[in-house]
Amino acid sequence: MDKFPEDRGFTCRLIRPDTWFIQGILESPATHLLLGKERALVIDPGQNRNDIRGYIAGITDLPLLVANTHGHFDHTAANGQFRDCPIYMSAYATKECRNAFPHVSREDYCLDYEPIAIEEGHVFALGNRDIETIALGCHSPGSLAFLDQKYRLLFTGDELESGQVLIHDVDNRGFASVERYLGNLRKLKARISEVDLICPAHNGSPMDPSIIDSFIENCERIMSGIEGKRDIGSPTFLHGRPDDPRGAESAKLRFNPAHRRSEWKGTAIIYNVNRVFDR
C-alpha cells in the first residue's frame, strides 16, 4: 500500500499480512479485504452508504472479487458499488440479498448487480492464496464461511461472533434449531487445527478459535434443559433509544415470549425456545 487511505467514513487495520479489517458506519458489519498476488477478495461490503469501493482502491489496485457470507441486507447493500466485479454468494442468498430491512430505504443503494451462486467447496484462487468455502446455515439458511488456508483465518459472518449469534428464527421457518447450530459448530471444530484466528462480521474481529468450545458447551447446556434469559437484549442488540423509530419493533423482538438468550463463558446464543431440537 502506497499510503494509508484517508476517509472519515472508514477505519481499517491490518490483522494479518495482506489482510485488512475495514469498519464503516456504526450499523454496518465489518468488511474483510484479502490480498493475493493476482487478485483481492472483498468479504461483505456491508451496508455502507459511503464509498467503500474508493476506500479499498486506496489499499490495493488488484482486480476485485466480492464474496458474501449470507444475503442479509446489512452485509450486501453495498454490493452495487462492485457491480462490475464478480459477486459470489450462496444460492439462497441470491434470493434474499435485495430485501432491505424495514428501517432501511432500498433507494439509498444500487441494487443493479447479478450475483453468482456458489456452494461448499468453492475455492477463490487469489494467487498464492486460496480461500475455501464452507457451508453453514443457521443465522441464515444460506450462510457461508471462508477459510484462508495460507494465513489460517476463518471468516464466519454472523454464524459465529463475539456479541451474540442470532438463531432465534423470527419467521418460524424451522431451520434454526439449537441442535442444528451445534452440528455446525462441530463441523467447524473438525477443522480447528487449520485455524489460528476467527474473523466475524460484528462486535470485534478477530477471535481465538477456542471460542468454538464455549459455544458448543452453550448449546449442550440449552439442550440439557438450562433455559436462557427472557430479555434477549444486549448493548449491541435491540437497545435503541426511547426516541428511536424502531423502538416498538425492537421491544417486540427483545421480549418475544418464545425467545431466549443463553450466555456462557463469553458466548451468547439467541434462540427460539420451541426450536431447541430438530423436528
Domains of the chain by start residue, with CATH: 1-127 (3.60.15.10), 160-196+209-279 (no CATH)
Going by their DSSP bridges, the two strands 165-167 and 267-272 should be labelled as: parallel
pLDDT in tens, 58-67: 999 999 999 9
pLDDT in tens, 200-234: 999 888 999 999 999 999 999 999 999 999 999 99
Sign of CA dihedral 264, 268, 272, 278: negative
Q: What percent of the chain has pLDDT over 90?
A: 75
